[in-house]
């Protein structure tokens, strides 16, 4: 039975990955921070099947202890301050957790279990103001936010440790991936929840930022399989993970509101000042041909399916 340690296990990706690994017969360990009121709602249905270790990616001693106690075969580093908008108001915290946190985990792995396989959660936000479209593994990074800058460091230090120490360490450059478990500050969940609430008479309007921002949106449950496949490969490689299709924020909102019999044009206030960022990324689109050829991975959930799935989940939650 393989053992896997997940940082960020209480997040969207961590919850889907934990489910996936448990179904594969893994022993799953989750690194969680000591807090007065730990949030485990996304993994509450799994808590009796997961072994939790107290620790933090900023605490090297705790990381080494967790690795020593669990002796994992695979480590998935999903921990981060992952909301782009918040990185503008908390740039130092974002740099520490999302950037230096990766170095702390890698160094602990190198010292305690150097033969373990390591996955780093990279992001399409690293491409930022991209020089080409679609973006692949050779596209230069041009981040446009503190979050993107921190993720570039995490990506590059992972590559550095792989090349310097011969570690099986790789980065999955995930494009936007959503689900009903997405945090409510993200625009997709903000839209799906508002559509549900407005249709139920619980909310009047929705404020959003740039209607024309384009993203490559997929389903988080598909993307965790790609993460796992990367650590089963013969050699560590970095891969772009995405659908290869782009849709605007307006398109997402239109489908969400239409699903509940409403019009986004009538109920959404666009370009709301509080929703605009100091610097934005206009469009991101994945060229995921490398992972499709090498590992046989392809997304299974289409864009409209994803939007409807999220709205239906919020309808059920709000009506319940």
Question: Within this chain, do residues 191 and 80 fall inside the same structural domain, yes or no?
Answer: no
* Rounded CA separation 192/130 (Å): 28
Question: Within this chain, do residues 108 and 159 fall inside the same structural domain, yes or no?
Answer: yes
> With 50 as the cut, is the pLDDT of residue 246 above it?
yes
* Position 300 in a domain: yes
* Position 33 in a domain: yes
Question: Within this chain, do residues 79 and 206 fall inside the same structural domain, yes or no?
Answer: no
What is the length of the chain? 320
* Position 15 in a domain: yes
82 compared with 203, residue with greater pLDDT: 203
Question: Within this chain, do residues 211 and 222 fall inside the same structural domain, yes or no?
Answer: no
Catalytic-role residue among 125, 178, 214, 225? 125
How does pLDDT run across 152-168, given as a tens digit for each residue?
999 999 999 999 999 99
- Spell out where 86-216 has E strands: 117-123, 168-174, 177-178, 206-207, 214-215
What angle do the packed helices 101-112 and 60-70 form, to 10 degrees? 40
How does pLDDT run across 248-281, given as a tens digit for each residue?
999 999 999 999 999 999 999 987 656 555 667 7
* Rounded CA separation 178/274 (Å): 23
* Position 24 in a domain: yes
Lowest mean pLDDT among 39-53, 80-94, 274-288: 274-288
9 near 31, Cβ under 8 Å? yes
Helix H, strand E, coil C: the string for 251-307 is HHHHHHHHHCCCCHHHHEECCCHHHCCCCCCCECCECCHHHHHHHCCCCCCCHHHHH
Question: Within this chain, do residues 157 and 13 fall inside the same structural domain, yes or no?
Answer: yes
Question: Within this chain, do residues 201 and 230 fall inside the same structural domain, yes or no?
Answer: no
* Position 291 in a domain: no
Question: Within this chain, do residues 133 and 88 fall inside the same structural domain, yes or no?
Answer: yes
Question: Within this chain, do residues 223 and 208 fall inside the same structural domain, yes or no?
Answer: no
Question: Within this chain, do residues 143 and 22 fall inside the same structural domain, yes or no?
Answer: yes
**Which residues constitute the domain of residue 253?**
184-215+245-286+296-319
Catalytic residue flag (residue 37): no
Give pTM, 2 decimals.
Answer: 0.95
Question: Within this chain, do residues 80 and 91 fall inside the same structural domain, yes or no?
Answer: yes
118 near 5, Cβ under 8 Å? no
Catalytic-role residue among 98, 123, 139, 158? 123
* Rounded CA separation 134/163 (Å): 27
End-to-end CA distance of the chain: 39
* Position 51 in a domain: yes
Catalytic-role residue among 147, 161, 223, 239? 147
How does pLDDT run across 301-317, given as a tens digit for each residue?
999 999 999 999 999 99
Read off φ and ψ for residue 298, nearest 5 degrees: -145, 145
Question: Within this chain, do residues 211 and 144 fall inside the same structural domain, yes or no?
Answer: no
* Rounded CA separation 81/31 (Å): 15
Average pLDDT over residues 296-303: 98
Catalytic residue flag (residue 125): yes
* Rounded CA separation 166/160 (Å): 9
Instruction: Check which CATH number belongs to the domain holding 76 and give it.
Output: 3.40.50.720
- How many domains is the chain partitioned into structurally? 2
Average pLDDT over residues 16-21: 98
pLDDT score, position 36: 42
* Rounded CA separation 130/282 (Å): 9
Instruction: Check which CATH number belongs to the domain holding 204 and give it.
Output: 3.90.25.10
What angle do the packed helices 220-232 and 12-23 form, to 10 degrees? 60
* Rounded CA separation 181/125 (Å): 20
From 241, 256, 278, give the residue that closes a domain: 241
Catalytic residue flag (residue 147): yes
Residues of the chain with pLDDT > 90: what percent?
Answer: 88
Question: Within this chain, do residues 56 and 201 fall inside the same structural domain, yes or no?
Answer: no
């Amino acid at each position: 039975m393989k053992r896997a340690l997940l940082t960020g296990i209480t997040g969207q990706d961590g919850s889907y990955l934990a489910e996936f690994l448990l179904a594969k017969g893994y022993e799953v360990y989750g690194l969680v921070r000591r807090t007065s009121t730990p949030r485990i709602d996304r993994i509450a249905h799994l808590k009796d099947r997961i072994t939790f270790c107290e620790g933090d990616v900023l605490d090297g001693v705790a990381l080494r202890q967790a690795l020593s106690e669990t002796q994992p075969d695979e480590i998935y580093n999903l921990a981060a301050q992952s909301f782009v908008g918040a990185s503008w108001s908390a740039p130092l915290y974002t740099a520490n957790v999302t950037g230096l946190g990766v170095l702390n985990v890698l160094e602990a792995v190198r010292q305690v279990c150097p033969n373990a396989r390591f996955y780093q959660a990279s992001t399409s936000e690293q491409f930022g103001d991209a020089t080409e479209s679609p973006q692949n593994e050779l596209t230069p990074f041009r981040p446009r936010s503190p979050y993107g800058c921190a993720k570039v460091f995490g990506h590059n230090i992972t590559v550095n440790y792989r090349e310097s120490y011969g570690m099986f360490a790789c980065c999955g450059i995930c494009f936007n991936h959503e689900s009903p478990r997405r945090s409510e500050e993200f625009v997709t969940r903000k839209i799906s929840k508002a559509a549900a609430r407005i249709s139920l008479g619980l909310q009047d309007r929705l404020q959003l930022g740039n209607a024309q921002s384009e993203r490559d949106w997929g389903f988080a449950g598909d993307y965790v399989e790609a993460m796992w496949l990367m650590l089963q490969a013969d050699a560590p490689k970095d891969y772009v993970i995405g659908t290869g299709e782009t849709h605007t924020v307006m398109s997402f909102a239109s489908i969400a509101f239409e699903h509940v019999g409403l019009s986004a044009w009538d109920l959404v206030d666009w370009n709301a000042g509080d929703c605009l960022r100091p610097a934005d990324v206009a469009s991101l689109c994945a060229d995921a041909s490398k992972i499709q050829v090498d590992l046989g991975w392809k997304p299974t959930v289409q864009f409209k399916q994803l939007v409807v799935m999220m709205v239906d989940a919020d309808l059920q939650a709000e009506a319940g």
